[in-house]
Amino acid sequence: IAGITQAPTSQILAAGRRMTLRCTQDMRHNAMYWYRQDLGLGLRLIHYSNTAGTTGKGEVPDGYSVSRANTDDFPLTLASAVPSQTSVYFCASRPSRSDTQYFGPGTRLTVL
């Protein structure tokens, strides 16, 4: 693994189903983030984690949950997907002494 990876690349999901988007980084960055990107709205922060074991809510957290059991992984879970959660989801990480966030390739999620 080099950098930050996300899985799956894309997914079509029935409304009401549970879904976990995976994010893994091998850069040993302490901070990690989940964003959604919608046409005309730009990137919006869902949840973040400053370090393993801690998480925080961003601008649009409702309907999403995260966990940070270790430094490398930061999964995002949709407990019961709704069509308004159709979006492209980006995971990002940031080293401790920098403001630069490094983004993954994204997951395109469609909820029908």
Partner 1 sequence: KNQVEQSPQSLIILEGKNCTLQCNYTVSPFSNLRWYKQDTGRGPVSLTIMTFSENTKSNGRYTATLDADTKQSSLHITASQLSDSASYICVVSRGGADGLTFGKGTHLIIQP
Regarding 11 and contact with partner 1 (CB under 8 A), the answer is no
Regarding 52 and contact with partner 1 (CB under 8 A), the answer is no
Restricting to residues 24-43, name those near partner 1 by CB under 8 A: 31, 33, 40-43
Please give the full DSSP string across the chain, using - where no structure is assigned. Answer: --SEEEE-SEEEE-TT--EEEEEEESS--SEEEEEEEETTTEEEEEEEESSTT--EE-SS-TTEEE--SSSSB--EEESS--GGG-EEEEEEEE-TT----EE---EEEEE-
Number of residues that bind partner 1 (CB under 8 A): 23
Regarding 86 and contact with partner 1 (CB under 8 A), the answer is no
Smallest gap, in angstroms, from Cβ of residue 96 to partner 1? Answer: 11
Smallest gap, in angstroms, from Cβ of residue 32 to partner 1? Answer: 10
Report d(CA 30, CA 98) in Å as an integer.
11
* Nearer of residues 14 and 100 to partner 1, judged by Cβ: 100
Q: What is the binding site for partner 1 (CB under 8 A)?
A: 31, 33, 40-45, 48, 50, 56, 58-59, 90, 92, 99-106
